[in-house]
């Protein structure tokens, strides 16, 4: 009988400690920092850091047609490698609506860039709601 009372008391005490021990700690999640780069200064052609300084484009010759009713947006960007060696890269276009919300992306395209030779990257959005674009370039995987 004594043993049963002792087990019952231990069970009640253990349950009370378990409930008290399971109370979640009230800590706020980490918050994001303010981006120091204003959105209007974000580059239209974003190059991976490993390719920084090796990829150039003639911005005056970029062909861009925003979407309009019944016509999808189209993009053509001249790109050249100024590296000394050939390089495999991948590129894709991201598509944004009038509110600057991303509404699509093209598939990654794998391209071999010879040193000093220009290539033209082309993409169509598939949507007539596209108003802005961004080209991403990274080393090929």
53: tokens are: 């300084």
Spell out the domains of the chain, with CATH numbers in brackets. 43-139 (2.60.40.3230)
Mean pLDDT (the chain, rounded): 87
pTM as predicted: 0.74
7-16, 27-36, 92-101: least confidently modelled range: 7-16
Could you tell me if 63 and 79 are in contact, meaning their C-beta atoms sit under 8 angstroms apart?
A: no
The per-residue pLDDT for 28 is 85
Has residue 19 got a pLDDT over 80?
no
85-108 mean pLDDT: 96
Q: Which of 74, 49, 70 is nearest to 62 (CA)?
A: 74
């Amino acid at each position: 009988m004594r043993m049963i009372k002792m087990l019952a008391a231990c069970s009640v005490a253990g349950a009370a400690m378990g409930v008290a021990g399971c109370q979640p700690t009230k800590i706020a999640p980490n918050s994001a920092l303010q981006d120091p780069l204003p959105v209007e200064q974000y580059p239209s052609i974003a190059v991976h850091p490993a390719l920084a300084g090796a990829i150039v484009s003639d911005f005056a010759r970029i062909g861009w047609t925003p979407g309009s009713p019944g016509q999808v947006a189209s993009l053509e960007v001249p790109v050249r490698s100024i590296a000394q060696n050939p390089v495999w890269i991948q590129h894709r276009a991201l598509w944004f609506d009038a509110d600057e919300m991303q509404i699509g992306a093209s598939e990654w395209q794998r391209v071999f860039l010879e040193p000093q030779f220009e290539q033209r990257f082309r993409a169509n959005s598939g949507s007539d709601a596209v108003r802005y674009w961004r080209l991403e370039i990274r080393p090929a995987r």
